[in-house]
C-alpha cells in the first residue's frame, strides 16, 4: 500500500494539503481569531491553492525537491502572513536537503522534516514552548528520527512525524505565546491551540496518508 | 544619490502614508512603499508581500544603499526572506532597521536627505525617539 | 465596554491604516483615526487637526477611558491642546501615550480588547517593542 | 500718531498680520524647506486668512482679549502644523492675561507678550537657543519689559518688542535646532533662519506698526 516518495508523490501531497487546508479554512481562521488576526485559514488556503495551480499549470517538476522548491516560492509570494516566510523557508530547506534525489527514503524523509523545522526556527527564532508551529515541527522531527533509527520505512517515518505533530499541536493549548502575534496577548493566549501548529499537523498528516502510511 | 528607504507594512495605507510624511522633509530621497498583500485584483489585504518588498528594494536601490523599515514581526520575516534572495552585490547594500516604523522612517529620511552613508541612516532610524 | 484608542497622525493614510491594522486583533475596541488636516474640500493635507483629534476622542470615549497615540511632535502639541479643552470629567479618562505609533497601537489595542483598564493599555502602548 | 490699543486695534493688527503673512508666504515656505517640511508659509497663511474671515463675518468682539481669543481658536483649528497649537496657545494666553480690559496700556502690552511667550514655552517645551520661535518671543518679552520700566508708552513697548524679535529671528541662523522638525537635521540645521521665529518677527512688527510705533 505504500508508494514511492518521488516527484509524483510530492505533487500528490501538495494537492492533498491544499484540499485539507481548504476544508479546515474556517477552523484555522477561528483558531487565529482567538489569539491572532483571524487570517491563518485564509492565508494558508490562498497559498496552497496557488501552489496547486502553479503545479497544474506547468510541466511537473522532475524531482521531489523541485516540486517542494516551487511550492516554497509560491507560498512565499502568496500567503501574506507569518506563515508565508515560515512555510516558504520550511519547504525551501526541505528541498535543499533532498537535493536531486529521485526518491525519498526513510532517512531522507526524516532529514527533510528536520531541515524544514530548522528553517522555521532560523526564520522565526522561536524556541520550543513558545506556542508556535515549532511546537509541532520539533516533535515531528524527533519522532521521524527515532522511527528511522528503529528501521521504519519512509511512509512509517512520515506517519510517526504526523502523529507527533498532532500531539504537539494539541499540547500548545495551555502554553503562553512568546512569539508571533499571539505573544501580544500574554497570559490570555493560554487555553487556545496555536493555528500554525494545527496547520502543520494537517499538512504532515496528508504527507503520511499520501505516502500510504497510517497515522496513529 | 542618497540612501533609499523601503517602508514595509501590513497595511498599504500605512506604507503609503509613511512615504508621504517622510517625503516632505526628504524630497530627494527615494522612498518605496511595500504595504499590504498584492494578490488578486481587489484592494490589498492586510499582510506583507514578498513580491512588493522585493520590488520596493529594487526601486529604492540607487547604489548608495537601502534601509528597510518594518512594522510587525511577520513583516520582518518577509523582508529577511527577500534579502536572502538578493544578489550578493545588492544584498550588502541593504540593511533592516530595528526601528519604530513611522518615527524611524522620518528620522532616516532626513538623514538620507543630508547625504549620510548607510550606517548613519540606519542609526538615525534606530535612534529615533517616539513622540512626546 | 473597553478602553478606546485615538490614532493621531500627520497623514490621514497612516491614521486609517493603523486603525485597520489594529482592528484585526481588536474587533471590539473603538479605534478612531485622526489623521491629516481636515480643511477644505480637497484631500487632507499633511498635518494635524485640532477638530479631528477632538472628534476622535469623543468617538473613542465609551466611558472606560481613551489612549491617544501620536506620531511627530506637533501632533503631540495638538493633542495636548485638545485635552486642555475637554470637560474635566472626560479629561481624566484620556491619556497621551509616549509610544511608537504603529507598534504601540497594535499592542494597546490587543490589551484593550482583553478588557484591561486604562493604565494597563497605556503601559502596553509604551512598552511595545519595535519590530525585529 | 499712536492709536488706542482697543478691540478695533486688535482687529486691525490681525488684518495686517494676515496681509504680511500672505506677502511672506513663499519666503516662510523657503525657510521651512531648508530645515523643515516647507509648509510654514502655507500653514500661517491659511490660519491668518481664516482668522480674518472669522473676524469679518461676525460682529467684532468687544475687547482686545475677545479678538485674540477668537484668533487663537481659529489658528488652532486651521493651521495644521506646530504653529497651530503654538500660536493658538500664545494668543489664548495673551487674551487671558488681558482679561476684560477695554484698552491695552504699556504694562499690559508687555504683559501680553510675556504671557504669549510663556504659553509657547509651556506648549512646546523649548528653551532659549533651541532655534524655535521662542528665540524671537523671549527677547521680545525682555525688551517690552525694559521699555515699560523706562516709561515707554504702549506703542513704544510694541516697537521695542518687535525690534528685539527681529534680532532674535536673525540670531537663530547659526543655531543648531533642538526642538521641532528642524532638530532631525542636527548640525545641518545651522546656517538657516528658523521659520517660526521669522513669522513671530513679522507679526510683532505689524503689531507695532498698527499701534503707530516705529520699529527701530
Ligand atoms: N516567530 C515565529 N516563529 C515560528 N512560528 C511563528 C512565528 N510567528 C508566527 N508563527 C506561526 O505563524 C502562525 C500565524 O500565521 P498567520 O496567521 O498566517 O500569520 P500572521 O500572524 O502574520 O497573521 C502562528 O500560529 C504561529 O504558528
Ligand atoms: N517644540 C517647539 N517649541 C517652540 N516652537 C516650535 C516647536 N516646534 C516647532 N516650533 C516652531 O514651529 C515652526 C514650524 O512651524 P510649522 O512649519 O507651521 O509646523 P510643522 O513643523 O509642524 O510643519 C518652527 O520654525 C519653530 O519656530
Ligand atoms: Mg494570522
Ligand atoms: Mg495576518
Ligand atoms: Mg513646517
Ligand atoms: Mg508641517
At D32-65, the pLDDT tens digits run 999 999 999 999 999 999 999 999 998 989 999 9
Pairwise CA distance, residues C6 & C94, whole Å: 10
Q: What is the pLDDT of residues B105-115, one digit of tens each?
A: 999 999 999 99
Per DSSP, what are the bridge partners of residue B4?
Answer: B66
Of residues B51, B74, B80, nearest to A81 (C-beta): B74
pTM: 0.96
CB-CB neighbors (< 8 A) of A37 in chain C: 24-25
Q: What is the pLDDT of residue D171?
A: 98
Pairwise CA distance, residues A85 & B75, whole Å: 9
Asked if D18 and B3 touch (Cβ cutoff 8 Å), the reply is no
Q: B61 CB contacts (<8 Å, ≥6 apart)?
A: B4, B90, B93, B94
Write out the residues surrounding ion ligand 5, Cβ under 5 A. D 32, 36-37, 39-40, 81
Cβ C24–A184 below 8 Å, yes or no? no
Cell of D158: 510694541
Asked if A79 and A72 touch (Cβ cutoff 8 Å), the reply is no
Mutate to test the interface with B, among D183, D184, D188 (most CBs of B within 10 A): D184
Whether the predicted pLDDT of B132 surpasses 70: no
Q: What is the mean pLDDT of residues B40-60?
A: 90
Q: C36 CB contacts (<8 Å, ≥6 apart)?
A: C9, C10, C11, C12, C13, C15, C44, C45, C46, C47, C48, C49, C52
> What long-range pairs does D86-89 form, CB within 8 A, spacing at least 24?
D86/C77, D86/D120, D86/D123, D86/D124, D86/D133, D86/D196, D87/D44, D87/D47, D88/C50, D88/C81, D89/C81, D89/D119, D89/D120, D89/D122, D89/D123
Cβ C107–A184 below 8 Å, yes or no? yes
Which of residues B64 and A215 earns the better pLDDT score?
A: B64
Q: What is the pLDDT of residues C115-126, one digit of tens each?
A: 999 999 999 999
Tens digits of pLDDT across chain A (216 residues): 567 999 999 999 999 999 999 999 999 999 999 999 999 999 999 999 999 999 999 898 999 999 999 999 999 999 999 999 999 999 999 999 999 999 999 999 999 999 999 999 999 999 999 999 999 999 999 999 999 999 999 999 999 999 999 999 999 999 999 999 999 999 999 999 999 999 999 999 999 999 997 666
Q: What is the pLDDT of residue A1?
A: 54
Asked if D179 and D140 touch (Cβ cutoff 8 Å), the reply is no
Write out the residues surrounding ion ligand 3, Cβ under 5 A. A 32, 36-37, 39-40, 81
Reduced to 3 states, what is the DSSP secondary structure of residue A212? coil
Reduced to 3 states, what is the DSSP secondary structure of residue B94? strand
Q: What is the pLDDT of residue A143?
A: 98
Pairwise CA distance, residues B73 & A81, whole Å: 10
- Is the CB of residue A28 below 6 angstroms from any atom belonging to ligand 1? no
Residue A90 CA to ligand 5 center (angstroms) comes to 48
- Is the CB of residue A120 below 6 angstroms from any atom belonging to ligand 1? yes
Pairwise CA distance, residues A15 & A56, whole Å: 10
Tens digits of pLDDT across chain D (216 residues): 567 999 999 999 999 999 999 999 999 999 999 999 999 999 999 999 999 999 999 898 999 999 999 999 999 999 999 999 999 999 999 999 999 999 999 999 999 999 999 999 999 999 999 999 999 999 999 999 999 999 999 999 999 999 999 999 999 999 999 999 999 999 999 999 999 999 999 999 999 999 997 666
List, in order of start, the domains of chain A with CATH numbers.
Answer: 7-211 (1.25.40.340)
Whether the predicted pLDDT of C42 surpasses 80: no
Amino acid at each position: 500500500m505504500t508508494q514511492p516518495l518521488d516527484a509524483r508523490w510530492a505533487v500528490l501531497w501538495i494537492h492533498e494539503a491544499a484540499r485539507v487546508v481548504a476544508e479546515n479554512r474556517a477552523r484555522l481562521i477561528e483558531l487565529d481569531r482567538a489569539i491572532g488576526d483571524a487570517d491563518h485559514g485564509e492565508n494558508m488556503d490562498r497559498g496552497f491553492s496557488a501552489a496547486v495551480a502553479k503545479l497544474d499549470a506547468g510541466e511537473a517538476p522532475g524531482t521531489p525537491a523541485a516540486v517542494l522548491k516551487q511550492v516554497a516560492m509560491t507560498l512565499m509570494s502568496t500567503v501574506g502572513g507569518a506563515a508565508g516566510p515560515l512555510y516558504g523557508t520550511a519547504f525551501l530547506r526541505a528541498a535543499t536537503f533532498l537535493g536531486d534525489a529521485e526518491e525519498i527514503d526513510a532517512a531522507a524523509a526524516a532529514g527533510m522534516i528536520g531541515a524544514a523545522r530548522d528553517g522555521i526556527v532560523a526564520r522565526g527564532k522561536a524556541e520550543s514552548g513558545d506556542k508556535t508551529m515549532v511546537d509541532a515541527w520539533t516533535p515531528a522531527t524527533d519522532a521521524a528520527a527515532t522511527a528511522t533509527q528503529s528501521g521504519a520505512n519512509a511512509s512509517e517515518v512520515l506517519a510517526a512525524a504526523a502523529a507527533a505533530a498532532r500531539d504537539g499541536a494539541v499540547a500548545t493549548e495551555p502554553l503562553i505565546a512568546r512569539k508571533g502575534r499571539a505573544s501580544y496577548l500574554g497570559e490570555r493566549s493560554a487555553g487556545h491551540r496555536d493555528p500554525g501548529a494545527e496547520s502543520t499537523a494537517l499538512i504532515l498528516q496528508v504527507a503520511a496518508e499520501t505516502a500510504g502510511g497510517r497515522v496513529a | 544619490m542618497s540612501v533609499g528607504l523601503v517602508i514595509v507594512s501590513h497595511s498599504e495605507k500605512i506604507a503609503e502614508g509613511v512615504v508621504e510624511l517622510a517625503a516632505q522633509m526628504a524630497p530627494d530621497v527615494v522612498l518605496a512603499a511595500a504595504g499590504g498583500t498584492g494578490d488578486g485584483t481587489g484592494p490589498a489585504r492586510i499582510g506583507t508581500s514578498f513580491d512588493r518588498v522585493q520590488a520596493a528594494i529594487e526601486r529604492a536601490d540607487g547604489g548608495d544603499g537601502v534601509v528597510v523599515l518594518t512594522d510587525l514581526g511577520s513583516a520582518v520575516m518577509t523582508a529577511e526572506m527577500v534579502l536572502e534572495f538578493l544578489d550578493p552585490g545588492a544584498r550588502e547594500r541593504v540593511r533592516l532597521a530595528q526601528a519604530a516604523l513611522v518615527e524611524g522612517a522620518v528620522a532616516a529620511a532626513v538623514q538620507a536627505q543630508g547625504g549620510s552613508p548607510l550606517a548613519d541612516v540606519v542609526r538615525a532610524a534606530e535612534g529615533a525617539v517616539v513622540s512626546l
